[in-house]
């Protein structure tokens, strides 16, 4: 069967169809691996991603990865709407997610959209569901490879959607220029086991998701404590090793009641397990993490405003 015949529910666009979107006024994201543009196709708002680090890949390899991405269907994963497969103009067309990234909202200086504890808990709980789906339920099970708060987008209702699924498959990980900023995006996020082995596994995603939880409960970036040569993860791990509570590391804007502190404590415990250096024996699976977060999330619903 021809590669394109295996595509599931996505449209093949021509370069000419997408050309009106690809201009500087529509540019909404500029990264190491791609540029992202916002526009409309068929009266639907979309985000068009143009990867440009896969130059060594053949079109067939790109097509094969698009086939896998087309089989991903989950409410907490950004939906691939279509693609352009013309030589020299490879593009991916996604649903547009309106509220930006978790990273932007958590760490913006103006705090235009502050997130209360219940919203933050729901974001990590549903994001975990999306990752668990990728690892164990999707038709083509896959490792994300670059889990971070910047790759968790939020819609108008703050429902999280994981972006960039499959993008790591389009990157030459043997090239240090790219591998050094993948898997979380920096030295304070990258899984130390991946650094040692160079192997991307489900437990790599688990580690990086643990860092996301720490960001959510502390309100701080992973490198917040870089003045002391240790990041957010090290601070929480040290407190855990000492058998102490991590209360002083929590975002006090969301730690209002004793019940809030209890939830934050549970989240810290889950995060510390996720970032354990013993990936095989001590880190939970994303399915385990998702189930525990779901229970915590449900426990808060009667109190949700």
DSSP SS3 for 160: strand
Is residue 207 a contact partner of residue 191, using CB atoms and an 8 Å limit? yes
Q: Does 278 participate in catalysis according to the annotation?
A: no
DSSP state string for 36-98: EEEEEETTEEEEEEEE-S-TTS-HHHHHHHHHHHHT---TTBPPEEEEE-STT--EEEEE--T
Q: Which residue, 289, 293, 300, 243, is CA-closest to 136?
A: 289
CA torsion, ordered 2, 6, 21, 145, to nearest 10 deg? -110
Residue set of the binding site: 49
Residue set of the binding site for ATP: 49
Is residue 47 a contact partner of residue 31, using CB atoms and an 8 Å limit? no
Task: Kindly tell me the burial class for residue 225, based on how many C-beta atoms sit within 10 Å of its own C-beta (0-12, 13-18, 19 or more).
Answer: middle
Both tokens assigned to 267: 């989240």
DSSP state string for 223-237: TTTGGGT--HHHHHH
Residues 6+ apart with CB under 8 A from 173: 179, 182, 198, 200
Active-site option among 42, 103, 118, 146: 146
Task: List the catalytic residues.
Answer: 146
């Amino acid at each position: 069967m021809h590669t394109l015949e295996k595509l599931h529910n996505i449209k093949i666009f021509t370069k000419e169809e997408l050309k009106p979107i690809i201009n500087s006024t529509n540019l909404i994201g500029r990264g190491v691996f791609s540029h992202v543009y916002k526009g409309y196709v068929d009266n639907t708002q979309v985000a068009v991603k143009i990867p440009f680090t896969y130059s060594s890949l053949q079109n067939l390899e790109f097509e094969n990865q698009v086939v896998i991405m087309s089989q991903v269907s989950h409410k907490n994963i950004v939906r691939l709407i279509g693609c352009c497969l013309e030589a020299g103009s490879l593009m991916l067309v996604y649903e547009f997610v309106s509220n930006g990234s978790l990273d932007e909202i958590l760490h913006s200086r103006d705090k235009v959209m502050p997130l209360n504890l219940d919203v933050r808990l729901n974001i990590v709980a549903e994001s975990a569901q999306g990752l668990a789906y990728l690892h164990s339920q999707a038709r083509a099970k896959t490792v994300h490879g670059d889990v971070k708060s910047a790759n968790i987008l939020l819609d108008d209702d703050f429902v999280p959607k994981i972006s960039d699924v499959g993008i790591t498959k389009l990157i030459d990980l043997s090239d240090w220029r790219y591998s050094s900023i993948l898997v979380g995006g920096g030295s304070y996020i990258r899984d130390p086991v991946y650094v040692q082995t160079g192997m991307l596994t489900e437990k790599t995603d688990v580690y990086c998701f643990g860092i996301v939880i720490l960001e959510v409960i502390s309100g701080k970036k992973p490198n917040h404590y870089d003045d002391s040569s240790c990041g957010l993860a090290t601070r929480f791990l040290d407190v855990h090793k000492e058998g102490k509570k991590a209360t002083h590391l929590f975002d006090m804007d969301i730690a209002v009641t004793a019940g809030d502190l209890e939830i934050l404590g549970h989240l810290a415990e889950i995060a510390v397990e996720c970032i354990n250096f013993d990936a095989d024996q001590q880190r939970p699976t994303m399915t385990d993490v998702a189930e525990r977060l779901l229970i915590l999330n449900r426990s808060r619903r009667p109190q949700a405003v």
